[in-house]
Structure 1
Amino acid sequence: MEFIDLRSDTVTKPSALMLEAMMTAKVGDDVFNEDPTVIELENYAANLFGKEAALYCPSGTMTNQIAIKVHTQPGDEVICDVNSHIFNYEGGGISFNSGVQARLIQGNEGRISAEMIEPCINGDFDWLTKTSLVSLENTVNRAGGSFYTKEQIKPVYELCRDKNLKLHLDGARIFNALVETGDTPKEIGNYFHSISICLSKGLGAPVGSLLLGDKDFIKKARRYRKVFGGGMRQAGFLAAAGLYALKNNITRLKEDHLRAKKLEQVLRELPFVESILPVYTNILIFNLKKEIISGEAFEKKLRDNGIKISSFGKQTIRFVTHLDYTDDMLARTIQVLKYVC
């Protein structure tokens, strides 16, 4: 039985055309900055967002952690939403790698505003941690794929500028946001000192993320990539997949969102669903009625019927639509949800 996989958009596999691009890539030694395909990818992504330079890394966790390391000093503080990936899902890297602590804000569906951030900025006193960095996530994974528009980001940027703070974007799913808002990468790029973008989620590349910023920032980031163990050699074979993804797989993300919306419509009518977060992009998070079915039993029932899903808690479930999730799979999922569960 071939499984339908809704656990994450990280499960996508390279298409035939992407594989062809990988197998024909020109390569060199990236640690010596001599891999032509990596260089092309970095330049393409930097230009896309209006940045001076970029750095290709194995993962989004690494790009986020490098950015925090460059922007802060031990004993500093980074402001982020309580749902942030950098706080919840990066192995405690904020403190482990950089020696800084997180100042958490309970935002609006994962989004924090300038009005929320300003009271959390510490004054210049010896006994307080130094606030040095604000991090936004777009889209917000734990908040069901909610996103920021450029109008929501601008006041945060202006506050950080006025308070001399750095502003980082965890843009693991930034293109999912952009196909919904209609904002351009350059418009978003204007507001951030650093941006992390992931190539291996909805864009369909097998591995890799990029860190964007000015030349001095990326020079420091490149050194920390080596310190973190992230130096790669003939990485062009992988970079070619990322380049193909950026050139071909952005606009089609809208298809994932439409399928997620259809699933949302079905879930809202099912008697065992207690509540569901608004579905903005390709992520659905919903709660099950404990008197009807447990999260563990629900996950097993779907697996027994050929569907893999993720539990986000005892009664909380996450579905993520993606490049390899087809209309036929959608129909099968709906059938299982309606008639099996």
Structure 2
Amino acid sequence: MRTVDLRSDTVTVPTPEMREAMYQAEVGDDVYGEDPTVNRLEELAAAKLGFAAGLFVASGTMGNLVALLTHTQKGDEVLLEAESHIYYYEVGGMAALAGVQPCTIRGVRGKLTAELIKNHLRPANIHFPNPSLLCLENTHNRGGGSVTTPQEMEKIVQFARESGLHIHVDGARIFNAAVACGCDVKELVKGVDSVQFCLSKGLGAPMGSVLVGSREFIAKARKWRKMVGGGFRQIGLMAAAGIVALEKMVDRLAEDHEKAQKLAAGIAEIPYLNINAEDVETNIVVAHLKPGVMTVSEFIGRLNENGVKANGYGAERIRFVTHKDVNNDDIDYALRVMSKLAQRVMF
């Protein structure tokens, strides 16, 4: 049976060029700083985002945790959006391991503004924790892949600086944001202290993320990475795929965005689903089940029976994510499955 996997862009498999680069990679012990391929990846990543240094980490979750550990002290308050990945999907690591208190801010489709942040920033007081870090997410996963533009970022960064906050960007899909904006990725992170981005989502590498920042910040982060079990040895095999991802896979993200637009337009024609196609900015499509039709789990199950995979987003939302390993024919097939399902459930 045909399978169209729209659960996430994490299901992508490495390209033939990545596999060849992995096979040919020169390696060494990265804990000693002796893996030349890792060193090249870290330098390339830092330069692409406009920072002095980079650190290869196992995952986005590890990158975000290491950033929190590096920026904060136990008992500090971290401001972040209420449905941000760091808060929602990272197993409570910010509390359990970093020992920081989250101050959650409800954004608009996951996006924060300087005014929203200002309204949640408490004044200095002996009773209050120390607010030390602002975390932003771009694109925003649970916001449906929403993009914070360079102009919006500039206002937030200016306010955070005036307020004495460090700024970390969870940029798991920051290159999707840059492609959607038609800008250099450096414009999206100008003035922030650190960024984490994933190699293993739309860029197609088999694993890994890179955390970038100043040389001093990365030196401290490297020690925290070791503490949480992220000391790699001959990991240049995987870093080689990451280099290909950065050099060859960024521009093609526009194709994923086009496929997402096509999927959203088709979903808009299906009577038991609601969607605002204008909200689809990148490669994430979120649809709402109309009340009384079926549960999200039932819907996901029926799709799966026909070879289409998607993820539920709570009680009424379904998320579809386009990526390099689904094509336009796959999108057409998924829409046909949903249309046929409509005939069964609506009539």
Distance in 2 (alpha carbons) for counterparts of 1:156 and 1:290: 37
The aligned runs of 1:226-265 (5 Å cut-off) are 226-265=226-265
Show the counterpart of 2:170: 170
Shift of 1:293: 2.4
Moved over 4 A (4+): none
2:282 aligned with 1:281, yes or no? yes
Where do 1:7-22 residues align within 5 Å? 7-22=7-22
Q: Aligned partner of 2:112: which letter?
A: I
Is 1:49 equivalent to 2:49 in the alignment?
A: yes
Give me the whole-angstrom Cα distance separating, in 2, the residues matched to 1:113 and 1:297.
37
1:313 & 1:120 partners in 2: Cα distance? Answer: 26
Q: How does 1:62-211 map to 2 (within 5 A)?
A: 62-211=62-211
Gap regions ≥5 residues in structure 1 = none
CA deviation map 1:278-324 (0-9, x unaligned): 21111011111232222122111111111111111232211000110
Output the TM-score relative to the length of structure 1: 0.98
Q: CA deviation at 1:161?
A: 1.3
Query: How far is 1:140 from its partner?
Result: 0.4
Cα pair 1:311 1:318 within 8 Å, conserved:
yes
Q: Which residue of 2 aligns with 1:296?
A: 297
Q: How many positions carry a matched residue from both structures?
A: 341
What is the rounded CA distance, in whole Å, between the counterparts of 1:190 and 1:298 in structure 2?
42
Query: Distance in 2 between the 1:6 and 1:187 partners?
Result: 30
Q: Could you say what secondary structure the match of 2:319 adopts?
A: strand
Give the superposition deviation at 1:191: 2.0
SS in 2 for 1:229: coil
1:319 aligns with 320
Query: Deviations 1:158-185 (Å, cap 9, x if unpaired)?
Result: 1111122101100000000000112212
Shift of 1:36: 0.3
- Counterpart CA distance in 2 for 1:316 and 1:188 is 29
Query: For the residues of structure 2 that align with 1:320 and 1:143, how far apart are their CA atoms?
Result: 13
Q: Is the 8 A contact 2:178 2:184 kept in 1?
A: yes
User: Displacement of 1:3 after TM fit?
Assistant: 1.7
Secondary structure class of the residue paired with 1:143: coil
* SS in structure 1 at match of 2:97: helix
Identity %: 45
Query: How many Å apart are 1:149 and its aligned residue?
Result: 0.8
Distance, in Å, in 1 between the alignment partners of 2:272 and 2:261 is 18
Query: Mean alpha-carbon deviation: is it higher for 285-294 or for 313-322?
Result: 285-294
Whether the 8 Å contact between 2:264 and 2:275 is mirrored in structure 1 is: no
